Amino acid sequence: MTIQVPRHEYPRPQFQRNCWMNLNGEWDFTFDDLDIGIKSRWYKKATFDHKIIVPYVYQCQLSEVNTQEFHDIIWYKRTFDLPDEMKGKRILLHFGAVDYTADVWVNGEHLICHEGGHVPFFLELTHVVQEQDNVIVVRAYDPTTDLELPRGKQYWKKTSESIFYTRTTGIWQTVWLEGVSTTYIKKIRMTPDIDRKKIEIEYEMDGYCKDLALGVEIRFQDQKLIHDKITVLNQRGKRDFWLDQQITMDWNHQESWTWTPENPVLFDVTFELYQDTQKIDEAISYFGMRKVSICDGVFMLNNRPYYQKMLLDQGYWEESLLTAPKDEDFRRDIELSKQMGFNGVRKHQKIEDPRFLYWADQLGFLVWGEMANAYTYSRRYVSRITNEWIQMIDRDYNHPCIIVWTPLNESWGVDCIMNNTDEQAHSAAMYWLTKSLDQSRLVVSNDGWDHTTTDLLTIHDYEWQKDILKERYSSIENILKSRHAGRGMFAKGWSYQEQPIIASEIAGISYKKGNWSGWGYSSATSDEDFANRYYQVVSAFLESPLIQGFVITQITDVEQEINGVMTYDRNPKIDPEIIRQINAGEWKPDKK
């Protein structure tokens, strides 16, 4: 009998190797509410009393555990045999994400303790692995009531309410093995420059040997542009590759070769590592020639003004919470969103699975990358969020779909930022830290209000009456004096510097069309009423001379929030064509 492995697709689509093994599926599992597992050496020979389907968390249906009780400490175990193609190689064990702290033992040896619930980590097994009957044991610790913990929308109470949802504890992204050579390509970082028509490639190797060379082949559609070999010194370096001297196309028409939601063209890359003449490693990737900038107060995509029409996306599913049931679900979300006339999402309080970013790259969909915030400010909080934020940027740097980074949202974790200079310094520091790691994207310091240093002025406004919105967004003076949730646009001592203005949370219209009951920021009673309310909001922002984009709350209903344009099970609440027409400014209330 063939057992179907859940989430079987390659988990790191921006850097793929052939030699890998998916470890998703059934694992042994148990709770450790008394915290006796380490003292009792469960990592040695303990028998666990439950089964769980990885990568789904115990709080959800697809895990086949499906309990929402508090269990802050949990254990996993599974065995594996080493595949023939990995024998003689270095063996790496990867975890896509484990919420929040993970200790990992292999064959009884403790190999890592990783902190950070939303980012990947790996460990090397080469010195402990055997050909058969290898045992992986994982202990995950996720303190439910620790509000200094970056948690996003995961609630610290038993039952979801308001804007908070069911918790995620433990393994929630793919677990996999990878076989690599003694020396291998550890990291690739690609930075496009459309003005010079070049791509900068920075590379890093792991493991030392002499006479190394890195082969780089770049292709665009069916044409080979670059085939080069770089001598590797000191295990890392960087090289610029000019593309316009190689490609036989009209480079004066950038629409044909630059990445946009309307034209998501990608360049394919193959990396080959050689020792002398022997190839010892190979990985495939891609990049998009894309530029994000601001010119005279205007948001620009590839040096052209670009209006963002986006959705707020919590990245939750009814049967599996933060983990998409299937890879195809990511693609379907994007395709339905584009069908409704949206060109991107603001991923909200979640570091999303790289598979979503892959589909956004492939299909053409803008993404704002956002940190999952904590709720209480402290030195411990600062350390936690900073470390995880750095890992997030490192993981996702190469995805062309990401155009904005958002480390903070609505003053979560910095609740007194309006007047407290330490919290203001933290916000500004997160902005400059991000800029120190990535100069190719824009950064929003604190999305919604209480901004410090920021590239965009972003506003959360759930007013639904058009006449009020039209007046409020008719002048910069009105915008800057407006207050939302009692908050001003800038923290004390900071001011507007002619940044582009994005209404980054609007609408939030509740409309019950599925199995869930709940709330929204305004309520519709019929399809016609929903369309009219949606029109009232969107048309007001489209007609504003100052707004350069908007983010609709939200893509789907989530638990008790029924303010999606789709139900929790991804069915559009009204005809998607009506939403598209309203987003395009083509629909009027009497057009039914």
β-pair partners for 405:
369, 443
Query: What's the confidence (pLDDT) of residue 246?
Result: 55
Does the CA dihedral 573-578-582-583 come out positive or negative? positive
**CATH code of the region 20-180:** 2.60.120.260
Question: Which pair of tokens denotes residue 585?
Answer: 């400014």
Between CA 455 and CA 100 the distance in angstroms is 31
**Residue 70: how many other CB atoms lie within 10 Å:** 16
| Contact assessment for residue 212 and residue 118, using Cβ atoms and an 8 Å cutoff | no
**CATH code of the region 292-583:** 3.20.20.80
Residue 442, judged by CB atoms within 10 A of its CB (0-12, 13-18, 19+), counts as: buried
Tens of pLDDT along the chain (592 residues) come to: 344 678 899 999 999 999 999 999 999 999 999 999 999 999 998 899 999 999 999 999 999 999 999 999 999 999 999 999 999 999 999 999 999 999 999 999 999 999 999 999 999 999 999 999 999 999 999 999 999 999 999 999 999 999 999 999 999 999 999 999 999 999 999 999 999 999 999 999 999 888 999 999 999 988 999 999 999 988 899 999 999 865 555 666 777 899 999 999 999 999 999 999 999 999 999 999 999 999 999 999 999 999 999 999 999 999 999 999 999 999 999 999 999 999 999 999 999 999 999 999 999 999 999 999 999 999 999 999 999 999 999 999 999 999 999 999 999 999 999 999 999 999 999 999 999 999 999 999 999 999 999 999 999 999 999 999 999 999 999 999 999 989 999 999 999 999 999 999 999 999 999 788 898 888 999 999 999 999 999 999 999 999 999 999 999 999 999 999 999 999 999 999 999 999 999 998 875 4
The strands making up 267-275's β-sheet, listed across from edge to edge, are 223-231, 212-220, 267-275, 278-287
Query: What's the confidence (pLDDT) of residue 58?
Result: 98
Between CA 73 and CA 37 the distance in angstroms is 9
475's CB contacts (< 8 A; 6+ apart) are 546
Between CA 320 and CA 414 the distance in angstroms is 30
Query: What's the confidence (pLDDT) of residue 537?
Result: 97
Query: What's the confidence (pLDDT) of residue 11?
Result: 97
Between CA 285 and CA 268 the distance in angstroms is 6
Residue extents of the structural domains in the chain: 20-180, 184-287, 292-583
**Considering only CA atoms, which of 170, 159, 183 is closest in space to residue 95?**
170
**Considering only CA atoms, which of 555, 547, 546, 544 is closest in space to residue 579?**
555
Length of the chain: 592
Pick 184-287's CATH classification: 3.30.1330.10, 2.60.40.10, 3.10.150.10, 3.50.50.60.
2.60.40.10
In the chain, the N- to C-terminal Cα span, in Å, equals 54
